[in-house]
Amino acid sequence: MKAMVLSKQRSVLELKDMPTPEPLEGQVLVQVHACGVCRTDLHVVDGELQNPKLPLILGHEIVGKVVKPGKNVTGLAVGDRVGIPWLGSSCGTCEFCCAGKENLCNSARFTGYNIDGGYAEYVTADHRFCFKLDLDLPDVNVAPLLCAGLIGFRSFRKAGNSQKIGIFGFGAAAHIITQIARFEGREIFAFTRPGDAAAQRFARELGACWAGDSTDRAPVELDAAIIFAPVGGLIPQALKCLKKGGTLVCGGIYMSEIPSFSYELLWGERVICSVANLTRQDGLDFFEKARKVKLQTSVQVFPLSSANEALEKLRHGQIHGAAVLVP
């Protein structure tokens, strides 16, 4: 099979001929139809997430078709359309797994990080962590839902019943969550890179009631804010926009250094929390919601061999919506 391979961090991916993997017991072999390009992939390439498996095939927003099940696979058969997310496995026995918090399992393994992912023509995955897909959307439009959608949804739920929600970093996750928020009658305030008029226009087209620079103050006090951009300096900026009792959710796996800020910004029972990975139940709940909302995704499609170009455009904020690779 063809695959884009990362041999060492802080280098470009290389298109290589690789052996098509064989599914082990409990795994399925999936022919990749589409794989989203996530900012987490950038963090791996740039060395901000350390100790990945190397050489590595990136990619954890995978949509494809089961072509071969291994032994003891249940619930999936040849021809089934499946999604493969970031969480590739967990131990199932630790205190976190037993409490329904498998996203916090210390023995968890992750697709496209310590398990080869979907920047390839084929991938293997633990059948228990795959999602059987029945959404009426093309594969390229479903792919971003497997991380941008799932992590965005978990972040959104951490914001509770907030009615006025600010989103800092209006990319793939934000453009999905805005649709869910509007479906539920909530108001979205979009904060983008300074001067990014195209992103602000895109946010308003999706139903955001206000869009401006990340350095701006919202026109009203916010009940909650979600930060998807990996910029620690946004935390004090977002806190300035929150009313007392508000919640600030950090939705990324990596964030740059957080600058010091006055306790006054946090006082008033404001809360800061992070989001780590996802659970399988998150996925089940999210896809049920996606069917009700009739989610649409805006995608820019690249051939598999152009993965480096897609990553570079994502790095410089030149993707409005989501980038997706097609083998």
pLDDT at 79: 98
- pLDDT tens-digit readout, 124-176: 999 999 999 999 999 999 999 999 999 999 999 999 999 999 999 999 999 99
Q: What 3-state DSSP class applies to 101?
A: coil
pLDDT at 30: 98
Q: Which domains does the chain have, with CATH numbers?
A: 2-146+295-326 (3.90.180.10), 150-274 (3.40.50.720)
Does residue 55 have a cis peptide bond before it, meaning omega lies within 30 degrees of 0? Answer: yes
- Tally Cβ neighbours within 10 Å of residue 245: 12
Q: State how beta strands 14-17 and 56-57 pair.
A: unpaired
Question: Helices marked H in 29-83 — which ranges?
Answer: 39-45
- pLDDT tens-digit readout, 213-251: 999 999 999 999 999 999 999 999 999 999 999 999 999
Question: Helices marked H in the chain — which ranges?
Answer: 39-45, 95-98, 139-142, 148-158, 172-183, 197-205, 234-241, 263-266, 280-293, 307-315
Q: What 3-state DSSP class applies to 60?
A: coil
Low-confidence ranges of the chain (pLDDT < 70): none
Run of H or E including 247: strand 242-250
Run of H or E including 189: strand 187-192
pLDDT at 173: 97
pLDDT at 326: 98
- Look up the pTM and report it: 0.95
pLDDT at 198: 94
What are the DSSP E strand ranges found in 7-101?
14-17, 27-37, 56-57, 62-69, 81-84, 87-89
